[in-house]
Structure 1
């Protein structure tokens, strides 16, 4: 029995959030299945165009369905053409959309969970009200920084952050400070509802979002500005917590492995830029294996389960 002078601490309320329209529902269903394979943490889906039947399926699985949050300054014409852009906008309002939860973990619809410990580490990293996120400085084989060589000794920065800060018409002093910094990938991040970064993210969103062609990329740019310009606290996790490749299969376990030795299993798989595989389980990619061979795989949760003989 707890002594009167030592009251029990209230349990930390956690939630995992994603979002989709009707076209991405199959991916979200696989994401939910992969989460449920590891934890019973509450799940919510932001609805930006699901069908009534799809919403009913989520309700039947105990998943919350949320309406997106669209601020007054959002570009209405862009949203009318692509309603799913409201998902990226809503990411920066999750603390207000979910007042009943303390820790909020965002996972893009094209991610899935291979190792449940990655979820626990994301929550733990955000517990002290810092932004828990993965910088893109991991196992990439491509150039870490996009540049265009003009002549020997002269080059032009072509990084994601520099290009998008330029498109947002931010001052050169800001572009210079963030242009060579690693992208903080907004496909996977975790924040405490009381983290000080939330209003700063929205400050930048209000400045950037009304500008042309910024709705799709504004979330990652706002996060970078809040961290690199305003100095809000951040906790970096390694690339296994938001793994974008290069892809490597461990044939012994039937799991996707990190390119870095000793090739531990990837925690959270992110299929960004894998449009063909996202659309159909039959589409595959030939990747190397830890054992020295090659294998044709579909990187989706359903594809990997079929490969390991556990069904779709």
Structure 2
């Protein structure tokens, strides 16, 4: 059921990109402007290396654009690519875009198909909770694989890299909370907890240097956010309250290919009752540039990429 939301004018909808990701970012922005719920929020963009014409286009769409510096210090920082500043900036969004009551982050490789879902994020955030989606769904392929040797998967490895083996043993079996879409109130304690957890992870002593060539580094801010939500009471930080939204609120296309409903023109869940997806997230190897053959509920197929522009073209016939 759509959630009634009296006002969204105090919500900052934040995204980020460099020049290489502008194509995806522009699709996200167009999806926001096409949606009656999303366009009531204040569009805010972190500039990670956009071209001047990109910034001009964004400002023409009503966006506030800010170029972040490094928000945290860590070994080898000066050698890191500029895009990694989005990772250190996320726990500091109220500082980069002050004056809003709620901050709703959306990765630039995602786009909004049904903005009514955004009101659920905002409502939970107003209650002092982190609104976020676990990487769990009956359609996601990773739930149907054989267990790996010793039972350790990506989450165990990510936590071990960030906080050590003891933390991985405690927290590794929890589902991954995907930080590609989340909402938090400006005054929530999560921001400070997250910043502290991320700083500890980035400054932890290791035998090898930090490098964005490693997945564990690319997702380290997500691991830090997970750690403050799932931390037990003996951990250095206390557990931060959260509410977990369903997979269609942040559908990970790399984990399950959606279906397409020609009658409604929506990407939908691949299993019945085929609910329309709220946020379409093009996370996963090759997902952003691949052409998919999508099944339809009536037994047909449609070939398309999963970007906002491609799906709009299919809808238009």
Q: Is TM > 0.5 for Structure 1 vs Structure 2?
A: yes
Unaligned residue ranges in structure 1 (runs of 5+): 1-8, 150-154
Q: Which has the higher helix share?
A: 2
2:202: which partner in 1? 209
1:3: which partner in 2? none
Kept in 1: contact 2:134–2:177 (CA 8 A): yes
Quick one: distance in 2 between partners of 1:299 and 1:201?
32
Give the RMSD, CA atoms, in angstroms: 2.2
Find out whether 1:101 has 2:115 as its counterpart. Answer: no
Residue of 151, 162, 183 corresponding to 1:157: 151
Unaligned residue ranges in structure 2 (runs of 5+): 1-5, 205-209, 232-237
Quick one: distance in 2 between partners of 1:274 and 1:299?
13
Moved more, 294-303 or 63-72: 63-72
1:270: which partner in 2? 281
Higher Rg: 1
Kept in 2: contact 1:114–1:269 (CA 8 A): yes
User: CA offset at residue 144 of structure 1?
Assistant: 2.9
2:64: which partner in 1? 64
Find out whether 1:195 has 2:183 as its counterpart. Answer: no
User: CA offset at residue 12 of structure 1?
Assistant: 6.2
* TM-score where L is the length of structure 2: 0.85
SS for the counterpart of 1:144 is helix
Quick one: distance in 1 between partners of 2:223 and 2:155?
6
Quick one: distance in 2 between partners of 1:11 and 1:61?
18
Instruction: Write out per-residue CA displacement over residues 114-168 of structure 1, whole angstroms, 9 at most, x where no aligned residue.
Output: 001011111112111110000111133423387755xxxxx42332221112222
1:125: which partner in 2? 124
2:136: which partner in 1? 137
Kept in 1: contact 2:8–2:40 (CA 8 A): no
Quick one: distance in 1 between partners of 2:76 and 2:19?
20
Residue of 227, 244, 266 corresponding to 1:236: 244
Find out whether 1:37 has 2:34 as its counterpart. Answer: yes
